[in-house]
């Protein structure tokens, strides 16, 4: 019996991979997904066919001609020659999951009826019938990580694909801070904020000291294509890093290429998996707001990071704040919000809060140190770096301190170009450049395209972990593309 229902789930997952609205149609007809799963497949097929009648076939982007090269790289030849409409019809007629659904080695498949299926996700209106999960190369590792993932607080960090440098700082900073406190950062591996949050989380993982066997995975990527397809393609290394340390999840069957309609569907999974959603930046039409809508539908907490007034990318979060979203200035705000909802998922939050508040270990100590970072340049640097840098600094401490103060004060008022700092402080270009180099090296100031420098906020300087403590895997990730 369970086997039959498991097969039904996989079959529905396959159908849902090739056409939008499959689950919605079933839920509309049967009330909820679990009822639908218990029905005979022939009946389900009839329902789905009826549902499609009268609608133009292939309106869900199911033509092979428009297929992008992106993402379909790993797809088998069969899928590259057949249109998605054909795949849909084949699956519908077969009344069983295709044999190609056999997982790639090391993969985990969690279906709706499994105990390992997340309860919070099961409760949304149109839950995915199955989730395909990649974690490292070992199914047992993936399963253990999946268990720890579900036992930890989970927060989605979402936002636009073309963020401002400030937005990236915030995403990476909040991501890192959450991981340090044992929260899993969930995002979509897209350009911009998503990638920033993943990277922040991965970097914090490299410095996390208490990372024992029971620590949750730092970050989970929910894909809008098959979990084994890296999209966008240039995020291959990020995908690899997330897979190595965390999990890559998708509701779509292996090898499904990326299509525009799959991303809103993916966003509902992100919202469904998480306890809270943080929106960093996004325009009024941003896909991040879809995630928020779904999160609000499911009764999740929504937090928004404030930005510069009047910018297009701050319209989204500011709109949410106006509607009553919680203000998010750092990871601490997120933790506070999670404290407020501890009763809703006591199995997860109680042990977590006990660790966080009781354990005087890594996270607490780190927090204490965060306070003095604004004064001391050395705290951002690792131990090896500190000794060298400290000796260099002591030699010139007096000379630079006044100029430093002036430059940092000017940048604190607003991000400025070197010329603007020169005009404001009255220092020479050489002096300003010299100060900026020091500050940029120790992470207090960051340069951005256009030659605008800004004071790094939101503990973003953790982006640059100390030398010597990196694990090779993350070294790979952050090293890539150091082109100007």
3-state helix, strand, coil in the chain (%, to 5): 55, 10, 35
E strand intervals along 299-451 = 301-304, 326-327, 416-417, 445-448
* 417 contacts other proteins (rule: CB under 8 A): yes
* 174 contacts other proteins (rule: CB under 8 A): no
| CA–CA distance, 302 with 189 (Å, rounded to integer) | 20
Whether residue 277 contacts residue 155, with contact meaning beta carbons closer than 8 Å, is answered with yes
Q: Which of 240, 233, 230, 224 is nearest to 188 (CA)?
A: 224
* 402 contacts other proteins (rule: CB under 8 A): no
Judged by CB under 8 A, which of 384, 405, 469, 471 binds other proteins?
384
Judged by CB under 8 A, which of 234, 240, 332, 379 binds other proteins?
234
C-alpha 100, offset from chain centre: 29
Judged by CB under 8 A, which of 79, 145, 181, 235 binds other proteins?
235
What does the CA dihedral 35, 38, 43, 46 come to, rounded to 10 degrees? 60
In SS3 terms, 168-215 reads as HHHHHHHHHHHHHCCCEEEECCCCCHHHHHHHHHHHHHHHCCCCCCCC
When the beta carbons of 125 and 418 are compared against other proteins, the nearer one is 418
* 280 contacts other proteins (rule: CB under 8 A): no
Handedness of CA 475, 478, 479, 480 (dihedral sign): positive
Instruction: Identify which range of 77-85, 205-213, 229-237, 327-335 contacts other proteins by CB under 8 A.
Output: 229-237
DSSP 405-424: HHHHHHHHHS-EEHHHHHHH
Judged by CB under 8 A, which of 431, 444, 459, 469 binds other proteins?
431
In this structure, the number of other CB atoms found within 10 A of the CB of residue 168 comes to 24
In this structure, the number of other CB atoms found within 10 A of the CB of residue 419 comes to 11
Instruction: Identify which range of 120-128, 295-303, 339-347, 437-445 contacts other proteins by CB under 8 A.
Output: 437-445
When the beta carbons of 10 and 435 are compared against other proteins, the nearer one is 435
Judged by CB under 8 A, which of 222, 238, 247, 321 binds other proteins?
238
SS3 119: helix
* 350 contacts other proteins (rule: CB under 8 A): no
Long-range CB contacts for residues 116-124, cutoff 8 Å, separation at least 24: 116/143, 116/146, 116/147, 116/150, 118/150, 118/272, 118/273, 120/272, 120/273, 120/274, 120/275, 120/298, 120/345, 121/269, 121/272, 121/273, 123/272, 123/298, 124/268, 124/271, 124/272, 124/294, 124/297, 124/298
Whether residue 474 contacts residue 241, with contact meaning beta carbons closer than 8 Å, is answered with yes
* 376 contacts other proteins (rule: CB under 8 A): no
When the beta carbons of 154 and 463 are compared against other proteins, the nearer one is 463
* 419 contacts other proteins (rule: CB under 8 A): yes
Minimum distance from residue 333 beta carbon to other proteins (Å)? 23
* 484 contacts other proteins (rule: CB under 8 A): yes
Draw the binding track, 149-168, toward other proteins (x: CB under 8 A; -: no contact). Answer: ------------xxx-x--x
Size of site (CB under 8 A) for other proteins: 59
Judged by CB under 8 A, which of 143, 440, 457, 473 binds other proteins?
440
Judged by CB under 8 A, which of 51, 385, 424, 476 binds other proteins?
385
Instruction: Identify which range of 99-107, 125-133, 348-356, 394-402 contacts other proteins by CB under 8 A.
Output: 394-402
* 285 contacts other proteins (rule: CB under 8 A): no
DSSP 75-89: S-HHHHHS-HHHHHH
* 305 contacts other proteins (rule: CB under 8 A): no
* 381 contacts other proteins (rule: CB under 8 A): yes
Whether residue 197 contacts residue 351, with contact meaning beta carbons closer than 8 Å, is answered with no
When the beta carbons of 34 and 376 are compared against other proteins, the nearer one is 376
Give the DSSP letter of residue 300.
Answer: -
SS3 446: strand
Indicate the length of the chain as a whole number: 484
Tokens for 234? 């240039």
* 240 contacts other proteins (rule: CB under 8 A): no
Instruction: Identify which range of 88-96, 359-367, 370-378, 447-455 contacts other proteins by CB under 8 A.
Output: 447-455
Judged by CB under 8 A, which of 357, 409, 467, 469 binds other proteins?
467
When the beta carbons of 275 and 470 are compared against other proteins, the nearer one is 470
Minimum distance from residue 152 beta carbon to other proteins (Å)? 26
Q: Which residue has the tokens 């090896």?
A: 384
Minimum distance from residue 395 beta carbon to other proteins (Å)? 4
Judged by CB under 8 A, which of 90, 260, 284, 395 binds other proteins?
395
| CA–CA distance, 262 with 408 (Å, rounded to integer) | 45
Judged by CB under 8 A, which of 215, 341, 378, 448 binds other proteins?
448
* 196 contacts other proteins (rule: CB under 8 A): yes
Minimum distance from residue 316 beta carbon to other proteins (Å)? 15
When the beta carbons of 85 and 165 are compared against other proteins, the nearer one is 165
| Interacting residues with other proteins (CB under 8 A) | 161-163, 165, 168, 191-192, 195-196, 199, 232, 234-235, 237-238, 312, 381, 384-385, 388-389, 391-392, 395-396, 399, 417-419, 422-423, 429-431, 433-438, 440-441, 446-452, 463-464, 467, 478-484
């Amino acid at each position: 019996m369970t086997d039959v229902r498991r097969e039904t789930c996989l079959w529905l997952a396959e159908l849902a991979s090739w056409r939008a609205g499959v689950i919605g149609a079933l839920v509309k007809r049967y009330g909820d997904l679990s009822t639908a799963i218990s029905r005979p497949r022939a009946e389900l097929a009839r329902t789905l066919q009826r549902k499609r009648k009268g609608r133009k076939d292939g309106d869900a982007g199911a033509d092979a001609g428009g297929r992008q090269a992106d993402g379909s790289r790993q797809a088998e030849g069969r899928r590259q020659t057949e249109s998605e409409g054909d795949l849909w019809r084949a699956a519908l007629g077969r009344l069983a999951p295709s044999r190609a659904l056999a997982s790639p080695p090391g993969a985990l498949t969690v279906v709706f009826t499994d105990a390992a299926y997340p309860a919070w996700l099961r409760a949304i209106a149109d839950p995915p019938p199955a989730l395909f999960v990649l974690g490292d190369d070992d199914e047992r590792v993936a399963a253990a990580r999946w268990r720890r993932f579900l036992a930890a607080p989970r927060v989605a960090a979402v936002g636009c694909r073309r963020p401002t440098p400030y937005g990236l700082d915030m995403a990476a900073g909040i991501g890192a801070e959450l991981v340090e406190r044992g929260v899993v950062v969930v995002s979509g591996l897209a350009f911009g904020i998503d990638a920033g949050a993943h990277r922040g989380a991965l970097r914090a993982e490299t410095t996390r000291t208490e990372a024992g066997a029971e620590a949750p995975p730092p970050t989970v990527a929910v894909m809008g294509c098959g979990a084994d397809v890296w999209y966008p393609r240039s995020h291959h290394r990020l995908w690899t890093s997330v897979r190595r340390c965390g999990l890559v999840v998708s509701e779509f069957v292996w090898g499904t290429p990326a299509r525009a309609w799959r991303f809103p569907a993916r966003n509902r999974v992100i919202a469904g998996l998480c306890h809270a959603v943080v929106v960093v930046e996004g325009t009024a039409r941003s896909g991040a707001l879809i995630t928020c809508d779904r999160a609000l539908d499911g009764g999740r907490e929504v937090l928004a990071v404030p930005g510069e007034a009047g910018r297009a990318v701050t319209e989204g979060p500011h709109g949410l704040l106006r509607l009553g979203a919680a203000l998010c200035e750092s990871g601490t705000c997120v933790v506070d919000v999670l404290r407020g909802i501890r009763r809703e998922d006591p199995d997860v939050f109680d042990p977590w809060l006990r660790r966080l508040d009781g354990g005087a270990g890594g996270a607490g100590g780190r927090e204490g140190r965060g306070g003095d970072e604004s004064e001391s340049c050395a705290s951002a640097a690792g131990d090896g770096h500190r000794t060298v840098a400290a000796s260099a600094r002591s030699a010139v401490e007096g000379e630079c301190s006044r100029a430093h103060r002036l430059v940092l004060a000017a940048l604190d008022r607003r991000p400025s170009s070197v010329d603007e700092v020169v005009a404001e402080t009255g220092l020479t270009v050489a002096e300003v450049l010299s100060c900026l180099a020091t500050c940029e090296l120790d992470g207090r100031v960051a340069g951005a395209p256009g030659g605008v420098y800004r004071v790094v906020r939101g503990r973003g300087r953790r982006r640059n972990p100390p030398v010597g403590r990196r694990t090779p895997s993350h070294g790979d990730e952050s090293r890539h593309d150091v082109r100007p």
